[in-house]
């Protein structure tokens, strides 16, 4: 009965949105990705390029001179935090420039694009403005959606099984040791619940750290709690049932199971209902290079995360009825970020690795009629290309300022000087990168760079930063709405 009421409410809300779009066309664009994949930088660069009229040769409406004005409008949803574009631009244009803080919660920004339509009926109906509502949310929250189909016992068994996998067993040892020493049928104990929850969260945080760079780490709010930090809905942990199937009321198991259900009810379902299910287009940013840096376990974990994320999307071509009642994501872009950390000769290989990572999920979306693309991209290019000679051999290099603390072998960078770095070559066969066969750790050297120096404009403000394939991403996501 509850699901029926929720579905009916969703239908009425979608009908209202559709009616509003007939008067003022609006496209809801979701931007997501796992931690440090570049979501904030992507949105900031996209908005800055459109407002400042950056060079976007593969964004048709801009290249053809049909975009007359782009500007920000007031926040469309009073209950969602605004994406702080101005603060992020201040970070990127400061002295020295710094990367903005990562996405830690959902936020939104409304962009208005005034353009000259090509279509006859659009011209007759006066469709010369498109609102783009950009919704920024952590990809870790997407990984929570599969929890809706699990009960506490199933989730606990899954989490325990994953914690024994290569790359996880060592960092999960402290949490598993604590589980082994407690009786889940014992009376509920708040102090013990807090202890187990903190140990579990420490394991998840360590798994996400650069040393391991693992990806499948639900519950997502455990690492990005926001205003729920410290609440009972975020104070639970999987338990080892130790062969039992029934537990008494008032037991530790019963308390943890209740909080798991509260997490699904008050955290996961509202996110799906209020934000995720309303998206029209979606871009998923993927830090493939970080996983390659950490080895085959991290790559395999990323592949699993991408499959899990794709299964959450309601993808497919839209019809009048689907737009009216159950809108689908009809265009989906996967972008391997930080392509500027590689020489351009490896960009196609990076794109091929991304396609291989998401092959099954992409095929499923395409079968439903969605337009799916994968590309290698850098929303802001932090390096330029050059060449270096050593031992009579010439190496294609990238040149930039590595961030303080970054290292290649024993060489640590201080953050102030520019260096030419040969990042290595990605394998021609994506399977080698995915499975690790024949690919050694020393084959690639990926370090993070600080942002490029901003270029002031005579009339005020700053020129758009250089990028790699940002225009192709914009065209894939919104280009057809500006025809």
* 280 contact partners, CB below 8 Å, separation of at least 6: 27, 28, 29, 327, 329, 330, 331
Write the CA distances from 170 to 123, 213, 291, integer angstroms: 63, 14, 18
Residue 14's pLDDT is: 45
Pair 30, 283: CB distance under 8 Å = yes
3-state DSSP assignment of residue 329: strand
3-state DSSP assignment of residue 338: coil
pLDDT > 70 in the chain, percent: 87
480 φψ region: left (φ > 0), alpha (ψ -120 to 50), beta (else): alpha
Give me the CATH topology for the region 2-137+275-381+467-482: Rossmann fold (3.40.50)
Pair 276, 265: CB distance under 8 Å = no
Split at pLDDT 50, 70, 90, the class of 402 is very high
pLDDT in tens, 313-323: 766 544 333 44
Burial, 299: exposed, middle or buried (Cβ in 10 Å; 0-12, 13-18, 19+)? buried
Write the CA distances from 95 to 45, 85, 91, 379, integer angstroms: 18, 18, 9, 20
Q: Is the pTM of this model over 0.75?
A: yes
Pair 306, 357: CB distance under 8 Å = yes
State which H helix or E strand residue 28 sits in: strand 26-33
In angstroms, the CA 174 to CA 238 distance is 14
Mean pLDDT of 6-35: 63
DSSP secondary structure code for residue 209 in this structure: S
pLDDT of 210 over the 90 cut: no
Domain ranges of the chain: 2-137+275-381+467-482, 145-270, 384-443
Alpha-carbon radius of gyration of the chain: 24
Pair 135, 108: CB distance under 8 Å = yes
Mean pLDDT of 91-102: 93
Residue 325's pLDDT is: 38
Average pLDDT, the chain: 85
């Amino acid at each position: 009965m509850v699901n029926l009421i929720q579905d009916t409410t969703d239908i009425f809300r979608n009908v209202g949105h559709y009616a509003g779009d007939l008067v003022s066309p609006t496209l809801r664009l979701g931007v997501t990705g796992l931690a440090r994949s570049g979501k904030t930088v992507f949105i900031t660069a996209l908005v800055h390029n459109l407002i400042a009229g950056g060079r976007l040769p593969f964004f048709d409406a801009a290249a053809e001179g049909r975009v007359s004005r782009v500007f920000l409008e007031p926040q469309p949803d009073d209950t969602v935090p605004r994406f702080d574009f101005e603060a992020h631009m201040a970070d990127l244009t400061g002295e020295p420039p710094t990367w903005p803080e990562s996405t830690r919660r959902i936020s939104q920004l409304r962009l208005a694009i005034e353009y000259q339509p090509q279509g006859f009926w659009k011209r007759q109906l006066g469709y010369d403005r498109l609102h783009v509502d950009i919704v920024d949310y952590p990809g870790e929250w997407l990984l929570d959606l599969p929890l809706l189909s699990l009960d506490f016992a199933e989730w606990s068994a899954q989490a325990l099984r994953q914690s024994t996998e290569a790359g996880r067993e060592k960092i999960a040892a402290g949490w598993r040791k604590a589980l082994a020493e407690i009786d889940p049928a014992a009376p509920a104990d708040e102090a013990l619940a807090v202890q187990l929850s903190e140990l579990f969260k420490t394991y998840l945080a360590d798994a996400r750290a650069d040393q391991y760079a693992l990806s499948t780490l639900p519950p997502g709010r455990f690492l990005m709690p926001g205003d729920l930090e410290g609440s009972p809905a975020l104070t639970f942990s999987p338990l080892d049932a130790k062969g039992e199937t029934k537990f008494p009321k008032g037991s530790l198991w019963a308390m943890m199971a209740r909080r798991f259900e509260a997490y699904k009810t008050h955290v996961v379902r509202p996110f799906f209902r209020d934000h995720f299910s309303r998206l029209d287009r979606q871009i998923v940013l993927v830090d493939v290079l970080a996983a390659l840096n950490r080895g085959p376990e991290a790559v395999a974990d990323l592949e699993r995360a991408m499959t899990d994320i794709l299964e959450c999307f309601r993808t497919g071509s839209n019809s009048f009825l689907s737009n009216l009642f159950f809108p689908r994501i009809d265009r989906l872009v996967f972008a391997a970020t930080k392509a500027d950390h590689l020489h351009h000769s490896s960009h196609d290989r990076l794109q091929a690795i991304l396609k291989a990572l998401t092959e099954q999920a992409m095929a499923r979306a395409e079968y439903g009629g969605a337009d799916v693309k994968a590309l290698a991209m850098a929303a802001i290019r932090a390096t330029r290309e050059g060449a270096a000679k050593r031992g009579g051999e010439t190496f294609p290099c990238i040149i930039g300022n590595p961030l303080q603390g970054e290292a290649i072998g024993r060489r640590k960078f201080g953050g102030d000087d520019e260096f030419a770095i040969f990042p290595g070559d990605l394998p021609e066969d994506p399977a080698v990168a995915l499975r690790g066969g024949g690919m050694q750790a020393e084959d690639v050297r990926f370090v993070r760079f600080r942002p490029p120096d901003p270029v002031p404009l005579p009339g005020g403000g700053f020129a758009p930063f250089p990028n790699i394939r940002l225009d192709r991403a914009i065209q894939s996501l919104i280009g057809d709405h500006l025809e």
